[in-house]
Every structure is written in structure tokens, then in C-alpha cells.
Amino acid sequence: MQEHFGHYSVLLNETVENLNIKEDGVYVDCTLGGAGHANEILKKLGSGKLVGIDRDAYALEKAKDRLKAYGDKVIFLKGNFCCANEMLNEIGIEKIDGVVADLGISSFQIDNTDRGFSYMHDAPLDMRMSTDEKFSAYDVVNGYDKQKLANIIDVYGEEKFASRIAENICKEREIKPIETTFELSEIIKKSIPAKFSKDGHPSKRTFQAIRIEVNGELDAIGQMINALFPMINSGGRMAVITFHSLEDRIVKHAFAEFTKGCICPSDFPVCVCGRKPTGIIINKKPIIPSEKELKENSRSKSAKLRIIEKI
């Protein structure tokens, strides 16, 4: 089963198959979550190991329970994947054979009404992927000035009514702090003309933007890729699943940098920089979910998988 404590592992077979797993390899799951990808990787390992990383203590505990049959083949690390290379070095791992990162928020985080990720459940404004952190959605919504709010909603949410939403948030919080997801969602609904609310829930893009801001998600992606790809052995692969255009753009550009060779000016007679490509893109067009998967899990619809191989 792909589902585990409310989590569906997106593009599961496509991801695991494209990692070209070696039985004695060392693999890193940067977003352990429901442990779906990790479980399938471990099935293919003999003497190899898997390192599972997650910011969410709850996810780690659930993953430990699911993967307990694999014993010491699994190493669990709690932390932000932007620091994955440092975390690996601390436990004596300097080289790896593959990396997987599923950048989507876990279904069990969305469906847990206490976490405040969803506009479908009334809950305190939270949205922290790690409950050890103090900074939350409440701080963004009630603490950012109008211009800063509008900017993150525009850039991270790609919301055309960002300015109006930010203005109305600021007006409402002058009366009282905005404390719950439903309070915020009502403000957003009132800010978007009805004729523009037909394409999904009106709060979707703003909630996405605030979640990204709270967790520093976009900055972490590039840091993770640039830190871990150099650690991969020749022939090893990195597979990253994204869920919106901002993430996909970062992954695409980061991967492209590893495929570049000489960067000397075109009028140089010979190369003096010595730069050579260190990666090759496996799929020029991202892999998307099958019709079967889309029927089973509607949350997969925006998923894109990109893979790069170390050379």
C-alpha cells in the first residue's frame, strides 16, 4: 500500500525506478514523511543503508514505526534538509549513491487539524513543519506590514489579488489579531471577486505563500541540491518531486548548473576555466503522475519529477 497514516507517496514507482538503486548503496530520503519512498528503496537494498531526514518529529516517529523491520539499515535524522550534508558528515557519511526529495507537504500534516496548514479545517494559525520552531503563520499574518504581506502572497502564491488580500488582513487585525485558519480564509474570500473564485479554493494560493514563508521552503531547496549533489558517487542519481512552478523552476535551474561545461568567454581561443559537466539530466521533460494515480490521489495533480545523474 502506498498510503500510510493518511499519506500517499506521489510518483512512487517512477521515483524509485529512476534511482537505479544498488543493493550496497547509501541513499538519502530528504523528506521522509510517510516513509513511502523510503520503504520501497529499502526493499531493494541488501547491505546498503538509507538515511531518512525530516523536520517533523511526529513524522519521524511514525516513520520509525513503519520501518522498524529494517533495523539498522535505516538511520533517522531530525532536521532541515538544507543542512543535510552537515548532518551526514556528523555521522561519518561522506559519499552517497542517491537522493530523493518529495517537496510536497505531507497529507497527514494537511489533515491534522491542529497544525493549521489547511483552509478546510478551523485551527490556530501555525503551519510550522517543525513544531520546535517558534515562528509561525500567526507571526506572518499579524506581524508583517502590508507591503511585505502583499509581496510574499504575490511571489510565493502567484496570487493576482495579493495587494487586496494584504490590505484587508491589515484592516482586520487592527480590530483584533487574526488567530485561526477560518478567520484568515474568510478575509481572503472577501478579497477575491466571486468570478475569480471558481478555479479551486480562493485561499489555496495565499495559504501556500504563508506556509512557504514560515518554513523558508524555497531557499532550502537550492541549498539542499547544491550541498548533496557533489556527495553523490558517479552513476548515482538525485530525484526531486515538486508541486508548484516556483519549486520546479529552482530544481530545473539547479540541475542545469551541474550540466554546464566550459564557461569561458566565447572569444577565448582555449578553455582556461577547466570546468566540466558533473551531471546529466535524465528526463528533459518532468515526469508527471499517471491517470491511475490522479484518480487515486487528486493531490498528485501538480507533481513533477526531475532526475539528474552524477557523471
Q: Are 42 and 69 in contact (CB under 8 A)?
A: no
Assess whether 229 and 89 both reside in one domain.
yes
**Residues 6 or more apart in contact with residue 308 via CB below 8 angstroms:** 229, 237, 238, 255, 258, 259, 279, 280, 281, 282
Asked whether residue 107 is domain-assigned, the answer is: no
- The band of 297, judged by pLDDT with boundaries at 50, 70 and 90, is confident
The yes-or-no verdict on residue 165 having pLDDT over 80 is yes
Strand partners, 124: 180
Burial 107-143 (b: 16+ CB within 10 A, else e): bbbbebeebbbbbebebebbbbbeeeeeebbbebbbe
pLDDT bucket at 104, cuts 50 / 70 / 90: confident
* Cα four-point dihedral sign 31, 34, 39, 42: positive
Joined together, the cell numbers standing for residue 260 give: 554546464
Rg (CA), the chain: 21
What is the Cβ-side half-sphere exposure of residue 27, based on CA atoms within 13 angstroms?
36
DSSP 258: H
Percent share of the chain, pLDDT over 90: 85
Beta strand spans in 93-145 (E): 96-102
Report, as an integer, the average pLDDT of 161-186. Answer: 98
Count the alpha carbons within 13 Å of 17 in the hemisphere toward its beta carbon.
6
Domain boundary among 164, 182, 215: 215
Same domain, 97 and 227: yes
Please say whether the beta carbons of 119 and 207 come within 8 A.
yes
Decide if 42 contacts 20 (C-beta within 8 A).
no
CB-CB contact of 194 with 145 (8 Å): no
Maximum average pLDDT range among 107-111, 118-122, 170-174 = 170-174
Domain-terminating residue out of 215, 250, 280: 215
Do 129 and 205 fall into the same domain?
yes
CATH number, residue 261: 3.40.50.150
Q: Domain of residue 185: give its range.
A: 114-215
State residue 195's pLDDT score: 82
**Residues 83 and 208 placed together within one structural domain of the fold:** no
Domain count, the chain: 2
pLDDT for 2? 41
Same domain, 119 and 76: no
pLDDT at 6: 47
The domain that contains 173 carries what CATH number? 1.10.150.170
Residue 126 lies in a domain: yes
Residues 231 and 167 in one domain: no
Degrees, nearest 5: CA angle 130-304-155: 60
| Last-in-domain residue among 215, 243, 273 | 215
Alpha-carbon dihedral 295, 299, 104, 43, rounded to 10 degrees: -30
Quick one: 150 and 277 in the same domain?
Answer: no
Band (85; pLDDT cuts 50, 70, 90): very high
Q: Are 100 and 27 in contact (CB under 8 A)?
A: yes
| Distance in angstroms (rounded) separating the CA atoms of residues 120 and 113 | 9
- 3-state SS assignment for residue 109: helix
Q: Is residue 209 part of a domain?
A: yes
